[in-house]
Amino acid sequence: MRQSHLLQNTLRERPSEADTQGHSLLLRGGYVRQLAAGVYSYLPLGRRVLRKVEGIIREEMERADVQEVLLPSLQPAELWMESGRFATYGPNLMKAEDRHGRSFVLGPTHEEAVTWLLKNEVSSYKKLPVRVYQIGTKFRDELRPRSGLLRGREFIMKDAYSFDTTEEGLDQSYRVMYEAYHRIFARCGLDFRAVEADAGSIGGEGGSHEFTALSSIGEDGIAVCGSCGYAANVEQAETAGMKGLPEAAESPSRGAATTPSLDRAALGEFGNIQINMASDQMPGGGEAAGSAFGQNADQAHEPELFHTPGVKTIDQLVSAFGLQAADIIKTLIYTAGGQTVAVLVRGDHEVNELKVAKYLGVPEVSLAEESAVLAAAGVLPGYVGPTSLKLPVTLLVDYAVADMTSGIAGAGRPDYHLRGVVPDVHFSLRHTGDFRNAAEGDICPRCRSGLIGVHKGIEIGHVFKLGTRYSEPLAASFLDDTSRSRPMIMGCYGIGVSRLVAAIAEQHAGEEGIAWPAELAPFDVHLIVVSMRDEAQTKLADELYETLKRSGVEVLLDDRQERPGVKFKDSELIGAPHVIVIGREAGEGRVEFEHRGAGGKETIDYREAIRRITE
Amino acid sequence: MRQSHLLQNTLRERPSEADTQGHSLLLRGGYVRQLAAGVYSYLPLGRRVLRKVEGIIREEMERADVQEVLLPSLQPAELWMESGRFATYGPNLMKAEDRHGRSFVLGPTHEEAVTWLLKNEVSSYKKLPVRVYQIGTKFRDELRPRSGLLRGREFIMKDAYSFDTTEEGLDQSYRVMYEAYHRIFARCGLDFRAVEADAGSIGGEGGSHEFTALSSIGEDGIAVCGSCGYAANVEQAETAGMKGLPEAAESPSRGAATTPSLDRAALGEFGNIQINMASDQMPGGGEAAGSAFGQNADQAHEPELFHTPGVKTIDQLVSAFGLQAADIIKTLIYTAGGQTVAVLVRGDHEVNELKVAKYLGVPEVSLAEESAVLAAAGVLPGYVGPTSLKLPVTLLVDYAVADMTSGIAGAGRPDYHLRGVVPDVHFSLRHTGDFRNAAEGDICPRCRSGLIGVHKGIEIGHVFKLGTRYSEPLAASFLDDTSRSRPMIMGCYGIGVSRLVAAIAEQHAGEEGIAWPAELAPFDVHLIVVSMRDEAQTKLADELYETLKRSGVEVLLDDRQERPGVKFKDSELIGAPHVIVIGREAGEGRVEFEHRGAGGKETIDYREAIRRITE
């Protein structure tokens, strides 16, 4: 198309709205514009890239024999009540009422709608398996939309669903989709990892993998073993100290916290505990501060009190006293199911609340209010320690803390810490477990030899084994070959299509433009006329333009009355893989040819330029 | 694809939900399913047809150099307040609130969003004209969704917008789009008419055409001249009696009510009247019943009272007394801007409230409540007549009534009518005008010789000249070549994409299936294996299937273990243009070949079948 007609307004400066380089370039190039927080319009350039991504997804879904459907955004609230998600989805769920006062959900995802559809269409095992997908708009009322297309409130998603008769069938559907996702992301030119993940609010009990594009602006941390290739979300990855090193997990498709495949019997009791049970209440401190719990008690000295006025954080402790964070025991007080628990992790580690909640068998835990901390620890946050807990609180000790010879901990009184706090002597190891996020330098829980590296990433896809999470409550069942009614076994598979565009932009962002992978660039060729007043140039440009267009090449012809500098800058922002500059040598039929990312610029005959592009 | 895997459940019976034949077949064939009133899911067959329609639209938009964009459904309410439509759009407008209590509109159309976009992207005449389109989901909370995809609450629309610097530019954009629409609907195999129309709630002052697919189930009436080809919405078409025959309208793009091009000076005063003005209040009846208004008063007799017990409607009057509806004067009492008016039309005609409101210069009129009728006419509806009006009400007389020598009218007392009521004698013709819908047999207002035929139709597209209706309130202006700021001049152009599918289904519906136009059928070829237990048949079917697929043909292979009768019935519902039946002669390589709509069935060599399809 002719650029003089293109709806595009490029910006010279980074807009204040842009919090990442990729988003900045999408705004500067006139690909997208914000209409409201987290709500974007796609201009012609953005729409072209989006359609190309959609095209790749459609091709790969068809190759995998997945059928395209289209499900509505307006979904009756009753359907979400049947699945139970109307109550549990939370404030991200957008709702609308119709003129009769009936309540609708604006679909953030379509498990309910597709399950209801299959329930009514399919009644026999003969019609299964069925795999369907759609590409469409989703709504999610994010508290903090960010980074343009990365976390929006209205966004484009490809969602797919499989319906099988057996677990083995689900495994097969999952594998087909998993492989299709690899092909899609590879064709999009992304550096990505498939990582073990948690199923989150979608629910379901089976496996789950996240596809994560590596990027420093990503919100997700992923733990990757440098040796065996094991990869998992940092919140999901298994961790262990030296003593607590687990057996290698059995199933590569299962995360640590959801399916405890570790042999924890050797580490004390196993699985969820009832925090109300009297046997689990133990005096964690107070007068018991000096009492000994384990067999090493004889050799241990009493902890040494030292004065730390105004020092309340690990960072302050490290910098004021020249300590290592790894030598400090961090004590955090949580509220869990109405009870108070204390969690000990190393100063350089982060508590993983999901793991804590799962260990305790409660839906969630949250940091305790100050008053509850005071009641449990006798002191406000900053000086809480394991040896001075007042109430009978359950004390959860992370493996890495259990491994410490001795550590530094809060003293349970203002402005004091303790040195020489010894695990199993000064506090109990009765509840030792995996209570933290994976961290850089951890030993790989899979191969037990490699070291874990932590990377930031953008979640671009997610595959879940749902099992009967939706088919049971919605009664989507089929008759098997013995005429027995059984619930369909489901999987669901999502790709954030607009987020994918954002991730590609981040990974391919240069200083002055996005170098789009060839299959995704808004145009294949950018023809730039240096001077529109030079007839030789405009004539040659028209010939190139018409010839390339006839060959099915997507050409953008910069026919604007603008200075060459402006044209070149805009060309960077458009990022076509081929650029042909028609300048002074146009009279001799010579043009400057550039295949971006494949060497420099050459001055060649225009016919040669056509040949190179059309071949 | 193999039909054993197709998500499709055909129905033998017409579902009770289906109120038209096309919708019945879309349901029976498993194209669409209702999720909520006016909200549909598209199954694979329906999605395939929808995508083909979308493909045709995209091709024709690109050919017309219209650029694709994608605008969000969530639109800040503030934007709709700026345009004024937040207050005026009415209950069809769906709304949602976000978690912060901010109000959003779920876009039923995108004039505001696109105007806001252009306002921020384009500041100079150099960047204009711009023409953009999108294909996406719209929301409209219809009071009575009906006929499946025909009138939905969530539906697919193609909407396009043009931005020009001059009226001539808009004319050019309008023409480009008008021609593209003709190509689109022709390619969709539709029998359609472009008719003059009213701009409705979209607003704007320029021309407007509706594209209407002729169909007996349509909600829109269109008046078409059998002689000159004049076509207009019946509510929009000009009408006149013999005396009131207007001059030929000047502009073919303008409807009657919006641009009164009639020479009404000869018929009394012209244009809007202020119904509050004392001069327009006249005694319409009561004691004045017998008084004479015009010059024919001398020759006229008094009307004759006759007893019509319990007869309240035109139909009853016609059947009980053997009368012609065209000989009856229908008197309707309306409320308009707080005042009461009476409108007289012939018994076989319908009042056009839009025309009445425009004549009176009020936004709308509505039928009066019973109490207001009683006050104005001294009697309840059923016996109201022009000679017995009590209050000083404005009396509007349709041209066709003014033409009557004499008529039958309500007597203004229960159970009585009057014969021999003479216009201009027994009631005033001071406000004579065009107050009705066009009707079968009217004289054409354009050529003044042809007769009007009235057809039912489905509105499938609409083009509007908006002018500055949106660019002025939203301040979307540009600097012209003298650096003067002027509002952009807009047009908008819609196609109901999902409704188009419904209209095509209606026009191509047979008894047992939809004979899709070749370009739109979900599959090009349907291969039917008569017996899946016959190896010669399955082998030949596989070869045909693979060969055709390799040639890029979309093939559906019925590989199900079903009786032939079931397969043939389902094949009718799928409506592929080519059907190949692989049966008893498969061993000899012979198949039954049918090109639907182009002759009967032939038994031919399978290679010949491939040749015919791929050529």
pLDDT in tens, A221-277: 899 888 888 888 888 888 876 654 444 333 333 333 322 222 222 222 223 443 333
- Residue located via tokens 């109120």: B19
Chain B residues close to A116, C-beta within 8 Å: 35
- Find out whether B417 and B409 touch, Cβ atoms under 8 Å: yes
Rounded Cα distance, B277 and B275, in Å = 5
Q: Is the dihedral of CA B497, B500, B505, B506 positive or negative?
A: positive
Chain B residue with Cα closest to A164: B5
Q: Is residue B482 predicted with pLDDT exceeding 60?
A: yes
User: Any idea what DSSP says for residue A586?
Assistant: G
- Find out whether A453 and A223 touch, Cβ atoms under 8 Å: yes
Beta-strand relationship, A154-164 and A489-496: antiparallel
Distance of CA B508 to the CA centre of its chain: 19
Helix (H) or strand (E) holding B341: strand B339-346
The alpha carbon torsion through B371, B373, B374, B379 (nearest 10 deg) reads -140
User: What pLDDT score was predicted for residue B300?
Assistant: 64
List the alpha helices (DSSP H) in B331-369.
Answer: 353-360
- Find out whether A110 and A71 touch, Cβ atoms under 8 Å: yes
Chain A residues close to B5, C-beta within 8 Å: 65, 67, 129-130
- Which residue would you say has higher pLDDT here, B447 or B45? B45
Q: Is residue B200 predicted with pLDDT exceeding 90?
A: no
Query: What tokens does B296 get?
Result: 């024919």
Distance of CA B122 to the CA centre of its chain: 34
- Find out whether A462 and A444 touch, Cβ atoms under 8 Å: no
Picking from A47, A96, A122, the nearest residue to B94 by CB comes out as A96
pLDDT tens by residue, B130-156: 999 999 999 999 988 988 999 999 999
Helix (H) or strand (E) holding A522: none
Give the largest Cα separation in chain B, rounded: 97
Distance of CA A309 to the CA centre of its chain: 40
User: What pLDDT score was predicted for residue A300?
Assistant: 64
Q: DSSP 3-state helix, strand, coil percentages of chain B (rounded to 5)?
A: 30, 30, 40
Percentage of chain B lying above the pLDDT 90 cut: 76
pLDDT band for B292, please (50, 70, 90 cuts). low
Mean pLDDT of B47-72: 97
pTM: 0.83
Q: Is B67 within 8 Å of A7 when comparing Cβ atoms? A: yes
Interface of A with B in 63-122 (CB under 8 A): 65, 67-76, 91, 94-96, 98-99, 102, 104, 106, 113, 116-118, 120-122
User: What pLDDT score was predicted for residue A286?
Assistant: 37
User: What pLDDT score was predicted for residue A236?
Assistant: 82
Query: What tokens does B523 get?
Result: 């599959």
> What Rg do the C-alpha atoms of chain B give, in angstroms?
30
Other CB atoms within a 10 A radius of the CB of residue B226 amount to: 12
Rounded Cα distance, B475 and B464, in Å = 20
Rounded Cα distance, B426 and B407, in Å = 11
The 3-state secondary structure of B72-102 reads CCEEEHHHHHHHCHHHHCCCCCEEEECCCCC
Looking at the complex, report in whole angstroms how far the Cα of residue B595 sits from the nearest Cα belonging to chain A.
26
Structure ipTM over 0.90, yes or no: no
User: What pLDDT score was predicted for residue B81?
Assistant: 96
In chain A, DSSP finds a helix count (H) and a strand count (E) of 14, 29
Looking at the complex, report in whole angstroms how far the Cα of residue A368 sits from the nearest Cα belonging to chain B.
26
Picking from A48, A70, A137, the nearest residue to B47 by CB comes out as A70
Q: How many CA atoms lie within 13 A of A118 on its CB side?
A: 34
Mutate to test the interface with B, among A8, A10, A43 (most CBs of B within 10 A): A43
pLDDT tens by residue, A59-85: 999 999 999 999 999 999 999 999 999
Mutate to test the interface with A, among B27, B51, B89, B104 (most CBs of A within 10 A): B104
Q: Is the preceding peptide bond at B129 cis, omega within 30 degrees of 0?
A: yes
Query: What tokens does A324 get?
Result: 């290592």
Angle between helices B44-63 and B497-507 (to 10 degrees): 110
Rounded Cα distance, A235 and B328, in Å = 82
Picking from A5, A40, A106, the nearest residue to B65 by CB comes out as A5
Picking from B50, B104, B126, the nearest residue to A70 by CB comes out as B50
Classify B348 as helix, strand or coil: coil
Report the range out of A253-257, A276-280, B25-29, B229-233 with the highest average pLDDT.
B25-29
Beta-strand relationship, B555-558 and B590-595: unpaired
List the alpha helices (DSSP H) in B325-389.
Answer: 353-360, 370-377
Mean pLDDT of B182-188: 97
Other CB atoms within a 10 A radius of the CB of residue B510 amount to: 12
- Residue located via tokens 């997507």: A554
Chain A residue with Cα closest to B43: A69
Query: What tokens does A438 get?
Result: 């994976």
| Amino acid at residue number A599 | G
- Find out whether B221 and B234 touch, Cβ atoms under 8 Å: yes
User: What pLDDT score was predicted for residue B483?
Assistant: 95
pLDDT tens by residue, B554-603: 999 999 999 999 999 999 999 999 999 999 999 999 999 999 877 789 99
- Chains A–B, number of C-beta pairs less than 8 Å apart: 173
Cα–Cα distance list, A112 to A142, A471, B354, B526 (Å): 21, 9, 44, 32
User: CB within 8 A of A364, min separation 6: which ones?
Assistant: A336, A353, A357
Chain B residues close to A169, C-beta within 8 Å: none
Chain B residue with Cα closest to A143: B99
Q: Is A74 within 8 Å of B36 when comparing Cβ atoms? A: yes
Q: Is residue B164 predicted with pLDDT exceeding 70?
A: yes
User: What pLDDT score was predicted for residue A393?
Assistant: 87
Whether A514 contacts chain B with CB within 8 A: no
Query: What tokens does A56 get?
Result: 């790749």
> What Rg do the C-alpha atoms of chain A give, in angstroms?
30
Q: Using CB atoms within 10 A of its CB, is residue A57 exposed (0-12), middle (13-18) or buried (19+)?
A: buried
User: CB within 8 A of B67, min separation 6: which ones?
Assistant: A1, A5, A6, A7, A44, B130, B131, B132, B133
Query: What tokens does A48 get?
Result: 């072209």
Chain A residues close to B44, C-beta within 8 Å: 67-69, 132
pLDDT tens by residue, B327-352: 999 999 999 988 899 999 999 999 99
Chain A residues close to B136, C-beta within 8 Å: 137
Q: Is residue B114 predicted with pLDDT exceeding 80?
A: yes
User: CB within 8 A of A230, min separation 6: which ones?
Assistant: A223, A224, A444, A445, A446, A447, A450
Q: Is residue B65 predicted with pLDDT exceeding 80?
A: yes
Rounded Cα distance, A242 and B510, in Å = 76
pLDDT tens by residue, B377-429: 989 999 999 998 887 789 999 999 999 999 999 999 999 999 999 999 999 99
Rounded Cα distance, B197 and A439, in Å = 68
User: CB within 8 A of B282, min separation 6: which ones?
Assistant: B392, B394, B395, B428, B430
Mean pLDDT of B483-504: 97
* Domains within chain A, CATH numbers bracketed: 23-214+465-506 (3.30.930.10), 270-433 (3.90.960.10), 523-614 (3.40.50.800)
Residues of chain A with pLDDT under 70: 198-206, 241-300
Chain A residues close to B36, C-beta within 8 Å: 72, 74-76, 102, 104
- Find out whether A180 and A61 touch, Cβ atoms under 8 Å: yes
